[in-house]
Amino acid sequence: MPGKKLYFATNLKMYKGIRETVSYLSQLEQLTADMDPETVQLFVIPSYTSLPDAVRSLRHKRLLLGAQNMCWEEKGQFTGEISPLMLQELGISIVELGHSERRHVFGETNAMINQKVIAGLKSGFTVLLCVGETEEEKNWGISDETLRIQLKTGLKDIPPGLTGRLWIAYEPVWAIGINGQPASVEYARDKHELIRNTLYEIAGTDGREIPLLYGGSVNPSNADALILQPSVDGLFVGRSAWNAADFNALIRSAIHSAAYKQQCT
Ligand code: PGA
């Protein structure tokens, strides 16, 4: 029986400009050229300004590209925003919504993210909805409540039948970035199970099919153990992915561990 499809992705945040992004993508494409997108889905989320060149630079459609954010409106008085129509013009396939930095640095609310999720799905994108509790929420013992609120409000009234284009990244805020503490594998597994159950409540059996990626200080020493968790379908990697050779090595090691586990079961 074939194993589950695995997802590996990185968000380049506000780090790489056009030239660096194009060079990174070309290296990553070459290094991962033998990976079958039917079983391993790779995607990269560059800065807005790099997206047009990034799209043109790709030689294959194996690697997907996404935007880091999107406005819910198609047009209007929204200075500084990027609309779904503008992203459609670029030919990208994914929009990442609700990343922790959008929520906590730029004050995006669950209600705003919900409007974006609906607009993203209606506009034909695959939506990567990011959820995660803050350290304070964890210490207050309300991580589960926070995640359920983010999911139930973020996915409220999503158009029926479109969950096939919905992916979720669980990224505990306290695990993200240079000062982050990676979640233990057990913690990540428990929260993924909670998310899976909540998705079932929201979307019924379709909720069981939604890919769940873990993010937050994923690195070569925890990636294999994380991907082995039945509730983890993929890894959403920041710093450890921004060198193409390192990301390729991390992906290969994780795939190898997953394949080995598959053989042994
Ligand atoms: P990190 O970033 O891997 O550098 O912690 C993760 C993210 O923000 O998606």
Mean predicted confidence (pLDDT) in 194-208: 96
**For the segment 209-242, what is each residue's pLDDT rounded down to a tens digit?**
999 999 999 999 999 999 999 999 999 999 999 9
Q: Determine the longest span between alpha carbons in the chain, in angstroms.
A: 57
**For the segment 103-117, what is each residue's pLDDT rounded down to a tens digit?**
999 999 999 999 999
Residue 263's pLDDT is 74
Mean predicted confidence (pLDDT) in 127-144: 98
Marked catalytic residue, from 99, 108, 133, 192: 99
C-alpha span between 13 and 19 (Å, rounded): 15
Distance (Å) from CA 217 to ligand 1 centroid: 5
Beta bridge mates, 131:
170
Question: Would you say residue 265 has pLDDT above 80?
Answer: no
Beta bridge mates, 65:
44
Q: Percentage of the chain with pLDDT > 90?
A: 94
- Joined tokens for residue 202: 């929201």
Question: Would you say residue 166 has pLDDT above 80?
Answer: yes
Question: Would you say residue 260 has pLDDT above 80?
Answer: no
Residue 45's pLDDT is 98
Contact 52 CB / ligand 1 (< 6 Å): no
C-alpha span between 157 and 125 (Å, rounded): 17
Burial 155-164 (b: 16+ CB within 10 A, else e): beebeeebbe
Residue 262's pLDDT is 73
Residue 3's pLDDT is 76
Question: Would you say residue 26 has pLDDT above 60?
Answer: yes
Contact 222 CB / ligand 1 (< 6 Å): no
Contact 238 CB / ligand 1 (< 6 Å): yes
Q: Percentage of the chain with pLDDT > 70?
A: 99
Residue 1's pLDDT is 46
Contact 171 CB / ligand 1 (< 6 Å): yes
By alpha-carbon position, which residue is closest to atom 3 of ligand 1? 238
- Pairing mode, if any, of strands 166-170 and 94-97? unpaired
Mean predicted confidence (pLDDT) in 141-165: 96
Distance (Å) from CA 180 to ligand 1 centroid: 9
By alpha-carbon position, which residue is closest to atom 7 of ligand 1? 238
**Region of residue 107 (left: phi > 0; alpha: psi -120 to 50; beta: else):** left
Marked catalytic residue, from 96, 108, 137, 171: 171
**For the segment 30-63, what is each residue's pLDDT rounded down to a tens digit?**
999 999 999 999 999 999 999 999 999 999 889 9
Instruction: Assess whether 171 carries a catalytic annotation.
Output: yes
Mean predicted confidence (pLDDT) in 68-88: 98
Mean pLDDT (the chain, rounded):
96
Report which ligand 1 atom has the smallest distance to the Cα of 182.
Answer: 5
Instruction: Assess whether 99 carries a catalytic annotation.
Output: yes
C-alpha span between 84 and 252 (Å, rounded): 34
The angle subtended at Cα 240 by Cα 146 and Cα 235, nearest 5°, is 50
Phi, psi of 128 (to 5 degrees): -100, 100
- How many C-beta neighbours within 10 Å does residue 49 have? 12
